[in-house]
Amino acid sequence: MRRFPLPSAGTLLAPMLALSLVALLSAAIRADDAPVAISASAETFAFTPDKIVAHARVPLTIELTLTAGVHGIASDELGIPTTLIRPHRPVMVSFTPKTTGDVVVHCAFVCGIGHDGMAFTVHVEP
Ligand SMILES: [Cu+2]
C-alpha cells in the first residue's frame, strides 16, 4: 500500500494564521468604515436622522432600513442611483461626494400622503 506523507504542523498552521490575520484586518477596516445607519418611517414619512455629515472625495456608505411601506432614495448630485427600500431588507448605498455643501436627498418612491416632504440632508464638509 502506498503511503502519502502527512503535512507538518507548520505547513498546516501557516495558511490558517494568514487567514486569521486577513480576517482581523478586514474587521478593523470595517470598523473604521462603518456605514451610517438611516431608517425610513412609513408612519411619519421621515428619514432618521434627517441630516448626516460626509466629506468631499471620501467614500461613505449608508445603511437604509425600513419596517413598513416602501420608500427610496436617489441623488444625481451625489451619484446615488434610484434605490428602493423595502421592509426588513436593509440596503447599503455607497457614494463619494465630489463637492462641499448641503445636498437634500428626497424620497424617490411615491409612498403616500407625506411623500413630498420626505427627505434627508447630506452635509458635505471639506
Ligand atoms: Cu416617498
Q: State pLDDT tens for residues 95-119.
A: 999 999 999 999 999 999 999 999 9
Start-to-end CA span in the chain (Å): 71
Nearest to 73 by CA among 86, 84, 57: 84
CA 103 to centroid of ligand 1, rounded, Å: 17
**Is this prediction's pTM over 0.95?**
no
Q: Work out the pLDDT band at 5, boundaries 50, 70, 90.
A: low
Residues with CB under 5 A from ligand 1 (ion): 107, 109, 111, 115, 118
CA 44 to centroid of ligand 1, rounded, Å: 11
Which CATH number does 35-125 carry?
A: 2.60.40.420
Q: Rounded to an integer, what distance in angstroms lies between the CA atom of residue 99 and that of residue 56?
A: 5
For residue 33, what pLDDT is reported? Answer: 73
